[in-house]
Structure 1
Amino acid sequence: MTERLTADLASGELLDTLAEIAEAASQVILPYWRAGGEVFTKADDSPVTLADQAAERLILARLEALYPGVQAVAEEQSEAEGKPDRAADRFWLIDPLDGTRGFVQGKESFTVNIALIEARKPVAGVVSAPATATTWRTGPGGGAQMRRFGEAWRTIRVRNRPDEGVALLSHSVTDEEATRLAARHGCTRWQGTDSSLKFCLLAEGRFDAYPRTGPTSEWDTAAGQAVLEAAGGRVLAPDGSPLLYAKPGFVNGPFVALGG
């Protein structure tokens, strides 16, 4: 039902729908958090929990019911069934629980991510943080917004780069590498943070850069990139071009996400 998807994207109704789905998935995840549930190991040695699987089932079922026939590329489905050989011109990218390692450890920085990709670019995206009951999204008519679950949306925007910028880095890098990466992008300080929350914190204007050197999957970044770009930021490949999607294997190379 591509006509309905086109109409809902143009009207902004799609963004309300995606936010509702992401927040519903968050409610599915929360009972598993800090509950000591079983953790499985995937082929790439990364963890997966029953929460990941239950949230993804909900997201896929809701999207298929509303927009049947639109291709969905989702993390757990791709692990179980294999990644598709190619992507349609328009498709969903879904990470039902980004930051699973932190989730298993009882940390708060895990997220639900749903993005719509069109012509290799993220044109709509929603990120929800179940532990803090917060959602960020691309806004109807442009811009980016955030809200606490059930509250009104408010506009967010990246900040102008301060004299002493602050970078966000993955916890997987060493302190020495983090300091070097932060300095490369004009930041004198850095902070470690998990998941796609990094894109959202840049979009809020709280930080200034998120450089990434190691590989990530496209579902890790698409929704966060959509929100950050809508807030006035950028996500760039090493050659300075925008980070694009539907790459071979749905894998990202190095990139940097920038605020103002």
Structure 2
Amino acid sequence: MTRDIGEALAGVCEEAAALILPLWKSELEVFRKADESPVTEADRRGEALILERLNALFPGVPVVSEEDASEFGTPDAIGPRFFLVDPVDGTKAFVRGDPNFTVNIGYIENGRPVAGAVCAPATGETWFTAGGKAMKRTVGGTAAQIAVRAWPAGAAVALVSHTMKEETAVKLAEQYGFDLREPMDSSIKFCRIAEGAADIYPRHGPTMEWDIAAGHAVLDAAGGQVTTPDGAEVVYGKAAEDFRNGWFVARGA
């Protein structure tokens, strides 16, 4: 199995996005998972489609997916190759009617995200890896290469959570040196940095591997990086920690 599968993953994400989009702003019932996070029928339908497609395209490659993990738990161990799937990252945004929710598939080899695709159903944008590069296309359009931008002195933009407290944002600005900040949900933050629209996404809070793997792959391919705050590599396949991440920082150039 080749690593260069990002465009195939993009097609699956776009198919799931087309299934999910009619449910946006449709007043779907919101359920609560064991951890009190929200889940909707869009999450469930999108995941079912993605799992079916991945099984057909890549038989035998394990998949760790958010809703399945929520219901049945994460595997106790995982091999060197597997997929990480989040059918609707940014469910809270989806429920609010905001456009910043995404469909995500990341492919992991030996602890690294080597291919991935992220689709934003509300805007029709898809970002994916291809031939060692990062690409972007919109519905009906052709794909074009994207890349991170140089750090703009005096105008660096950080993408942060809607719920971040002001004192926390000020401390992060002092630590990382950004000048402006924009609140945004979901893995689209990685993609905005990858396409040169923003510069840094510091995450000093909990996430799961399926939240970030696809965006990480795209950002890496665009010339950016995702590390721990002290510069160490972010690795995947942490079965012993139930696939939870520690703090990380996503950056452009």
Residue matched to 1:196:
187
> Helix, strand or coil: the match of 1:168?
strand
Alignment map for 1:1-260 (pairs within 5 Å): 5-6=1-2, 9=3, 12=4, 14-139=5-130, 141-164=131-154, 165-247=156-238, 248-260=241-253
Q: Which amino acid aligns with 1:150?
A: G
Q: Which secondary structure does the structure 1 equivalent of 2:39 belong to?
A: strand
Name the SS for the 1:84 alignment partner. Answer: coil
Name the SS of the counterpart of 2:210 in structure 1: helix
Query: Pairwise CA RMSD of aligned residues?
Result: 1.0
| Gap runs ≥5 in structure 1 | none
**Contact between 1:182 and 1:211, CA under 8 Å: does it hold in 2?**
no
Letter in 1 for 2:136: M
TM-score (norm 1): 0.94
Rounded Cα–Cα distance in structure 2 between residues aligned with 1:98 and 1:231: 21
**Structure 2 residues not aligned, in runs of 5+:** none
Contact 2:7 2:117 in 1 (8 A): no
List per-residue Cα deviations over 1:164-196 (Å, max 9, x = no partner).
Answer: 211111112112212221331110111110000
**Bigger shift: residues 82-91 or 238-247:** 238-247
**Normalising by structure 2, what TM-score?**
0.96
How many residues end up aligned between the 2 structures? 250
CA distance in 2, matches of 1:150, 1:93: 27
Q: Distance in 2 between matches of 1:175 and 1:155?
A: 35
1:101 Cα offset (Å) = 0.3
Check whether the contact 1:136–1:147 (CA below 8 A) recurs between aligned residues.
yes
1:234, 1:242 within 8 Å by CA — same for their partners in 2? Answer: no
Following superposition, the deviation at residue 96 of structure 1 comes to: 0.3
Cα separation, 1, equivalents of 2:46 and 2:226:
27
Partner SS, residue 205 of structure 1: coil
Identical amino acids, percent of aligned pairs: 52
* 2:179 match: secondary structure: strand
Post-superposition offset of 1:239: 3.0
